[in-house]
Structure 1
Amino acid sequence: MSVFTPLERHELEVFLAPYGLGRLRDFQGISAGTENSNFFVSLEGGEYVLTLVERGPVADMPFFVELLERLHQADLPVPYAVLTQNGEALRELAGKPALLQPRLAGKHIAQPNAHHCEEVGKLLAHIHLATRDDIIERRSDRGLDWMLSEGPLQALELPEAQLPLLRACLDEISEYKERVFALPRANLHADLFRDNAMFDGNHLTGVIDFYNACSGPMLYDLAITVNDWCSQADESLDGPRTRALLGAYAALRPFTAAEAAIWPTMLRIACLRFWLSRLIAARNFAGQDVLIHDPEEFRRRLEQRQHVELSLPFAL
């Protein structure tokens, strides 16, 4: 179970009392997390999710609170910090930054179809549109500079046969870095995988886990999303799902010529980011009772993205 900081019932009851949401009925750890400790919390006043932030500087927490409140005020289906009766949003529990948020309805989609992808494309565009004119700045701690420094370190542990793929992608990042930074920007979710979206049937009911959110190129967020929602069993991109997601997004936020030109590169960069972070997690948590995603999934995706035939719907 991916709960890094276990909680006792009595300490949770003390923490929850200032919210005035009634008696604690039940709570349980959520096994799906890989970086933070999350708990479902059932109170007389409703159903909530409690997050203890395990990774990243405490100084970043006001950014997440502000971003989610901005998106909530834009009527987007996102979690947001519940305030105590004294107006506190960010608090501390078990020595960790803690947020209580409403539990969103719906469930994850393991096998998305084109309609699911269309819904995700629309919501991602709305997130970007809600922030691009007044960006809340936060530099990603898993950005291009991190990839360029972490990649050579991971290369020391990789099989020789995988090194050309890694080196080629690192060289491509070095070559295109300034062009990437010059692309249109907004606030990004930066981790919009299938297990971070909730559906009720075909209706998208919410997007969760904004703890990798940052400011940066909107196209990067889109590449991360497409790589997960639109990959087939062999990790190549599925045409109907990819076109549905990109088309729905572009209908709300049309792409620029610069974005269209760099799209294949951005898909590869997004693959490398998660190949590297999964390699690190697999080594750091080996033998522990923590959910570890397979790094090989993104290595195979990176191989498949060496040839990208599905272009952006530019100039619709």
Structure 2
Amino acid sequence: MSVFTPVARAELEAFLGRFTLGRLIDYHGIAGGTENSNFFVTTVQGEYVLTLVERGPMAELPFFIALLDHLQRAQLPVPYAIRDRDGAPLHQLNGRPALLQPRLPGRHVDTADASHCRAIGQLLARLHDATATSGLLRPSDRGLEWMATQTRALAARSEPADRELLHSMLPMLDRLRAQRPALPEAVLHGDLFRDNVLFDGHHLTGIIDFYNAFSGWTLYDVAICVNDWCLAADGGLDERRTEALLAGYASQRRFTPLEAEHWPDLLRLAALRFWLSRQLAADQHTEHYDVLIKDPVHFQRLLAAHRDVQLGLPLAL
């Protein structure tokens, strides 16, 4: 179970006393997190999610609160910070910043089909439309500079095959840093994997975990999604699901010719980013048996598969 900071029942009851949510009935830690401590909390008034923020720049938490408020006003199915009796959205619990949010309905999809992929593409485009002109800005703490540094560091201690693959990414990183292409930008979710999306059947009911959100190329967010939602059994991309996700997105926001030109590189960039971050997490938590460690080799293999990208973007529907 990925709970880095435990919370005793008495501590949670005292915390909930700041709100008007009634008596605590039950709570338990949520398995699956790799960065924050999360708990399902049930009171007499409903079900909630308590997050203790463990990583990242704590001073930027107001950005995440403002982002979720903005997306809720845009009628997207997202959680939002519940205010206490004094109207405060951000709190402290056991030395960690704490947010209490409504628990959204639905469940995670283990095996996505084309209908799920089209729905996530459509909603991702709506998210980008809502944030492109929001005035909200946040640089990524795992952007191109971070990736270049981490790629060189990992290559220095890797086996020859992995070292060659990592070194092959450096010219791409240098090119994107030196000549940043004028691709459409917005605030991105940045981590829209299947475990951060909820469905009721084929109806998308929620997007959660915005703590990796940052300003950047919208195409990068699309690539992150495709790299999780549309994988084939052989390690490449499943054509039907990829086309469904891209068509769903394009039905709301048209892709540009410049995006089509950079699509293969953005797929590679997204795979590299999560290979690096998963490897970093594995190195940091190798002795923590209660922390879920996601396999970095998964994205190493995907990056190798993306050396040859056959599926392009739809430029007209």
TM-score by length of 2: 0.98
Query: In the alignment, what sits opposite 2:42?
Result: 42
Query: In the alignment, what sits opposite 1:124?
Result: 124
After superposition, the C-alpha distances for 1:213-240 in whole angstroms (9 at most, x for unaligned) are 0111100000000000001122200001
Alignment-mate amino acid for residue 52 of structure 2: L
After superposition, the C-alpha distances for 1:219-274 in whole angstroms (9 at most, x for unaligned) are 00000000000011222000010000000101110011111100000000000000
After superposition, the C-alpha distances for 1:41-67 in whole angstroms (9 at most, x for unaligned) are 001111000000000011110010000
Within 2, Cα distance between the matches of 1:295 and 1:147? 15
Paired-residue identity, % = 55
Query: Does the CA contact (< 8 Å) of 2:114 and 2:244 recur in 1?
Result: yes
Within 1, Cα distance between the matches of 2:238 and 2:180? 25
- Following TM superposition, the consecutive aligned residue runs of length 4 or more in structure 1 with deviations greater than 6 angstroms are none
Gaps of 5+ in 2: none
The alignment partner of 1:19 has SS state of coil
Gaps of 5+ in 1: none
After superposition, the C-alpha distances for 1:128-150 in whole angstroms (9 at most, x for unaligned) are 00010124110111111110111
Mean alpha-carbon deviation: is it higher for 149-158 or for 99-108?
A: 149-158
Alignment-mate amino acid for residue 78 of structure 1: V
Query: In the alignment, what sits opposite 2:244?
Result: 244
The alignment partner of 1:252 has SS state of coil
Query: In the alignment, what sits opposite 2:139?
Result: 139
Q: Tell me the CA shift for residue 179 of structure 1.
A: 4.8
Q: Tell me the CA shift for residue 99 of structure 1.
A: 0.3
Closer, same or farther in 2 for the Cα pair 1:181/1:213, shift >3 Å? farther
Query: In the alignment, what sits opposite 1:312?
Result: 313
| 1:55 partnered with 2:32 | no
For this pair of structures, how many residues does the alignment match? 316
Q: Tell me the CA shift for residue 172 of structure 1.
A: 1.0
Query: In the alignment, what sits opposite 2:302?
Result: 301
The alignment partner of 1:209 has SS state of coil
| 1:33 partnered with 2:33 | yes
Within 1, Cα distance between the matches of 2:87 and 2:221? 32
Within 2, Cα distance between the matches of 1:268 and 1:180? 16
Alignment-mate amino acid for residue 262 of structure 2: I
Query: In the alignment, what sits opposite 2:193?
Result: 193
Query: In the alignment, what sits opposite 1:91?
Result: 91
Query: Does the CA contact (< 8 Å) of 1:25 and 1:42 recur in 2?
Result: yes
Query: Does the CA contact (< 8 Å) of 2:156 and 2:163 recur in 1?
Result: no
Query: In the alignment, what sits opposite 2:293?
Result: 292
TM-score by length of 1: 0.98
The aligned runs of 1:93-242 (5 Å cut-off) are 93-180=93-180, 182-242=182-242
Within 1, Cα distance between the matches of 2:126 and 2:178? 26
Within 1, Cα distance between the matches of 2:134 and 2:42? 36
The alignment partner of 1:10 has SS state of helix
The alignment partner of 1:107 has SS state of coil
Query: Does the CA contact (< 8 Å) of 1:23 and 1:43 recur in 2?
Result: yes
Within 2, Cα distance between the matches of 1:133 and 1:256? 18
Q: Tell me the CA shift for residue 178 of structure 1.
A: 4.6
